[in-house]
Amino acid sequence: MPGLGVIVNVAAVLLGTGIGLVVGRFISKGMERAIIQAQGIAVIVVGLAGAIPALQQLSARPGLLGRYALLVFVGSLIIGTLAGEALRIERRLEQLGNRLRNFVGGGAEHTVTEGFMTASLIFCVGAMTVLGSIQDGLGQPNTLFVKALLDGTISIFLASSLGFGVALSVIPILVLQGGIALLSGLVGAVVPSAVLVAIEAVGGALIAAVGINLLFDDANIPVGNMLPALFVALGVVWILL
């Protein structure tokens, strides 16, 4: 069911906020870090579970695509990352977040607004938002299910310190992720299946990179700069069909 992942993501944030308002402040920093690391392992597994079977499907296809599937996969990641680095996508996302935060003061009277803005930036600005919403629109909500688990857990900690405003972040989640999922569902009807498989292969690798960032404190993989790899894979595979 297209859009199911978005609905689950919204429900997880609301549930996490409710829990955070009640018991979140009693969770220690050590327990918080342990939970994030466990989630990192889960995200890596989910990403690889999507990327490897998709790559195998591409390799099994006849013609040039099947023969050079691995090269297409690696090339898409490299070329896409180079394009993302040139466009400085990750840096622009960070600048956007900083600009939005500057509109929010540090005083107590801004708690609701700060909770809304902080949660919205965390939940809506990132590779999993784009990748998961695209897949959800194509009827594959698994990535957004994982994102829902992450967002729900994070919302517990945010709500414990920033309050009810965290729950309001479901509005941009619905608008942004729902919009991407809707567009993906409309476009997916005319896109060849092999192209969708290629997007899943590259997307799975990027999801695994998100998991690595969660698992290791010193990991700083610029996943945002890798997003153009999706479009490179789309174009190359379509040409080779």
- Residues 75-85: tens digit of each pLDDT: 999 999 999 99
Q: Does 166 have pLDDT greater than 60? A: yes
Least confident of 26-30, 166-170, 208-212, 217-221: 26-30
Q: Does 97 have pLDDT greater than 70? A: no
Candidates 26, 83, 37, 76; CA nearest to 195 is 76
Task: Tell me what the pLDDT averaged over the chain comes to.
Answer: 86
Specify the DSSP class assigned to residue 26. Answer: G
Q: How far apart are the first and last CA of the chain?
A: 28
Mean local confidence (pLDDT), 72-97? 87
Q: What is the pTM of this model?
A: 0.77
Cβ atoms of residues 177 and 13 within 8 Å: no
Report pLDDT for 108: 46
Cα–Cα distances (Å) from 66 to 55, 104, 118, 134, in that order, read 10, 52, 44, 24
The distance of Cα 191 from the centroid of its chain, to the nearest Å, equals: 22
* Residue 120, number of CB atoms within 10 A of its CB: 21
Cβ atoms of residues 144 and 180 within 8 Å: no
Q: How far apart are CA 159 and CA 227, in angstroms?
A: 30
Report pLDDT for 196: 83
Cβ atoms of residues 144 and 197 within 8 Å: no
Mean local confidence (pLDDT), 50-70? 93
Report pLDDT for 121: 72
Q: Does 104 have pLDDT greater than 60? A: no
Q: Does 234 have pLDDT greater than 70? A: yes
The residue with tokens 């698994």 is 142
Cα–Cα distances (Å) from 93 to 99, 109, 125, 222, in that order, read 10, 27, 7, 11
Helix, strand, coil shares of the chain, percent, nearest 5, are: 85, 0, 15
Residue 107 — pLDDT band, cuts 50, 70, 90?
very low
Question: Comparing 24 with 8, which gets the higher pLDDT?
Answer: 8
Report pLDDT for 109: 46
Report pLDDT for 118: 75
Q: Does 183 have pLDDT greater than 80? A: yes
**Cβ-Cβ contacts under 8 Å for 127 (sequence gap 6 or more):** 206, 207, 209, 210, 223, 224, 226, 227
Report pLDDT for 2: 77
**Cβ-Cβ contacts under 8 Å for 54 (sequence gap 6 or more):** 197, 198, 200, 201, 204
| Token couple for 65 | 């695509």
Candidates 146, 140, 111, 110; CA nearest to 126 is 146
Q: How many CA atoms lie within 13 A of 85 on its CB side?
A: 8
Question: Comparing 117 with 231, which gets the higher pLDDT?
Answer: 231
For 108-161, how does the pLDDT look when each residue is reduced to its tens digit (9 = 90+)?
A: 445 677 778 778 878 886 668 888 898 899 888 988 999 999 999 989 988 887
